[in-house]
Structure 1
Amino acid sequence: MTRNEEEPVGPDALDRVTWALRRAELAVQAAKEQRLRALGMAVSHYALLITVHSQPGLAGAELARRLNVTPQAVASLVARLEGRGQVERREHPRHRHIQELHLTEAGREALRAADAVVAEVEQQIKDALGAAPAEQLRALLDEVCEAVRED
């Protein structure tokens, strides 16, 4: 067997900012997932609830775009949270075929509890980095978003 000398990635692949971002995101997601499990919630549920809270009335297709998941994944999540009484669909005032999503009181309560857990993860990061570096990191991440945004 002969070895192909051509490497599939550049020599710096594991030292790139994008790889560090991915590792950090996976670590944060794992911490949130583990802690939210005690509430019977997944990170995807939290993401949906907080997005609907911040932008009530979103339709499923737009919500899927905001969460970067398929419309089928959103439909499944909405059905699950609707079954728990945490979200409700309402008919759009002008387009009767569009269903808007809104939090119910149970959804707001679930979001409050989940957000407290996520805030603990946030505090763990701030404690490890220090307040000023944590704020600097947040600002840099905002800059990363702007740098790669395609308008």
Structure 2
Amino acid sequence: MTTGRKKTAGADTSQAAPGAPASPASLASRHDRTERLDSHVLEALVGYNTRRAWSMISAVFSERMAPYGLKQVDFSVLSLLGHNPGATSRQLCSTLDILPPNLVSLVATMDSRGLIERRPHPRDGRAVGLHLTPAGEKLVHEAEQAVVQLELEASAKLTTRERDTLIKLLQKIYL
């Protein structure tokens, strides 16, 4: 009589029946797969650590901004316009490091959603200033509150001083 279990080099390679208790060998096998790998080289890299932190925050950001229909770049543009009424597309591209063609479609989408409006620039007759509509102001106010809260949650293991230091250090890299 066979049990359907196959042993190879001391490892249990069988699958337990659904609901059946796991054998000690299968638990050990699962443990081996979840054991922490030596990542000391990666963990000494600024980019790796930044990417890992960004991945965690980005996932929560996407989840929390879904009800507002905003992606990260949308939020950034709306926030900038909320605090800098009349900013031009050129200023937004420069500040956010966005290519102009990418911003054109983004602005068109926000305009069609009734979140922004274009007005002649008061000092440059060739430029157009971008302004939030009342609906855009309401949306950016709510979205900013949600983002501030998620950032506080994401950095809860840091003291206020550590959080401020982290932000300043990261800014030294890209400013």
Taking structure 2 as the reference length, the TM-score comes to 0.68
Matched residue, 1:37:
66
**Which residue of 34, 50, 60 maps to 2:79?**
50
Moved more, 128-137 or 60-69: 128-137
> One-letter code of the match for 1:113?
E
> One-letter code of the match for 1:26?
S
Q: Aligned to 1:61, what secondary structure does the other structure show? A: helix
Distance in 1, Cα, partners of 2:102 & 2:169: 30
Q: CA deviation at 1:82?
A: 0.9
Contact 1:90-1:99 within 8 A present in 2 as well: yes
Q: Aligned to 1:129, what secondary structure does the other structure show? A: coil
Distance in 1, Cα, partners of 2:84 & 2:107: 15
Moved more, 131-140 or 115-124: 131-140
Matched residue, 2:7:
none
Matched residue, 1:82:
111
Distance in 2, Cα, partners of 1:114 & 1:33: 12
Contact 1:125-1:134 within 8 A present in 2 as well: no
The superposition leaves residues 19-47 of structure 1 with CA deviations (integer Å, 9 ceiling, x where unpaired) of 22233223322221121012222221110
CA-atom RMSD in angstroms: 2.2
| Structure 1 gaps, min length 5 | 1-10
Taking structure 1 as the reference length, the TM-score comes to 0.77
| Structure 2 gaps, min length 5 | 1-39
Distance in 2, Cα, partners of 1:59 & 1:143: 26
Matched residue, 1:102:
131
The superposition leaves residues 110-141 of structure 1 with CA deviations (integer Å, 9 ceiling, x where unpaired) of 10111121012112123232434323323333
Q: CA deviation at 1:12?
A: 4.3
Matched residue, 1:22:
51
- Percent of aligned pairs sharing the same letter: 28
> One-letter code of the match for 1:97?
R
**Which residue of 143, 152, 158 maps to 1:129?**
158
1:14–1:65 CA distance, 2 compared to 1 (3 A): same
Q: Aligned to 2:156, what secondary structure does the other structure show? A: helix
Task: Provide runs of 4+ in structure 1 moved above 4 Å.
Answer: 11-14
Q: Is 1:65 matched up with 2:97?
A: no
Alignment length (residue pairs): 136
